Amino acid sequence: MGTSANISIVIPAKNEAGALVKFLPELVTAYPSAEIIVVNDGSTDETSDICSNSGVIEIHHPYSKGNGASIKSGARAATGDVIVFMDGDGQHRVNDIARLLERLNQGFDMVVGARDSKSQASLGRLAANRLYNQLGTWMVGHTIEDLTSGFRAVKAVMFRQFLSMLPNGFSYPTTITMAFFRAGYSVSYLPIQADKRVGKSHINLLKDGVRFLLIIFKIGTLYSPLKLFTPISLMFFLSGVSYYLYTFIFYSRFTNMSALLLSTSVLIFLMGLISEQITSLMYLSRGGVRRSD
């Protein structure tokens, strides 16, 4: 596993000609036997010409479908036993691919390149990523060093089990990471240093900021909904009990607000319990569960 003859390298790209023209020749030289696939996500620049001149496979979307949709297109087309995903903006270093493959061969099912603090585009993104990492670590009980990294090597047959779960936007790394942990697959993190991207980022801070907030809830619902719903339920329950004690001591009565808070806590817990069963069935139907959580 992981030799250049049986790996596919998938690169989603939207108007990344400035970066592709520099690192595609380096990639082809370093991995001449690998299947290199560039997913052109509706680019309006010279991406197609660069792919043709570099001798790599191009999958062309007639319009922009999103980063996650490009990942899915590349994964469906890839024929290698191992798929390496890397961004098309020039941040990921070609010589780090060998390190990912070496770690994968040590018995892991997915190896993720974990960016250091110097590799973050801004302090805001650094803070957000640390929040996601801490939440993800709490959910799965294992250290998650970079939940949103797009640079990873993975066994293809396992990755394809979860294609239908992947969103079309930028949160695919979070989704696939939590899916692998839930399925009981082995995930490892390898420290990397990412270079400054070439060109302008496609992430809109306002629009994608809201989407990334939803990642927090997706983390919980993808791995173990009860871990997300139980604390919320407990908060409502304690609020209801506290308010009841207050009204009982000072007014000697049980109020509608106490009843509302207590009943809400029960409903939220039941929702989490049902979601937990649905999640278990969802993973079981994909044949990816090795252990129960």
pLDDT in single tens digits along all 293 residues of the chain: 545 559 999 999 999 998 999 999 999 999 999 999 999 999 999 999 999 999 999 999 999 999 999 999 999 999 999 999 999 888 899 999 999 999 999 999 999 999 876 655 556 666 777 877 888 888 888 888 888 898 999 999 999 999 988 888 777 888 899 889 888 899 999 999 887 756 555 555 555 556 666 776 777 777 788 888 999 999 999 999 999 999 999 888 889 999 999 999 999 999 999 988 887 777 666 654 444 34
> With a threshold of 0.75, does the pTM exceed it?
yes
Whether the Cβ atoms of residue 146 and residue 113 lie closer than 8 Å to each other: yes
| Long-range Cβ contacts of 50-59 (<8 Å, 24+ apart) | 50/17, 50/20, 50/21, 50/24, 51/20, 51/24, 54/20, 54/24, 54/25, 54/28, 55/28, 56/24, 56/28
- Residue 28's nearest CA partner among 50, 60, 49, 48 is 50
pLDDT in the model for residue 99: 95
Q: What is the pLDDT of residue 277?
A: 85
For 201-204, the CB contacts below 8 A with 24+ separation are: 201/89, 201/121, 202/14, 202/15, 202/67, 203/170
Look at residue 178 in the predicted model and tell me its pLDDT.
Answer: 87
Give the pLDDT of residue 214: 72
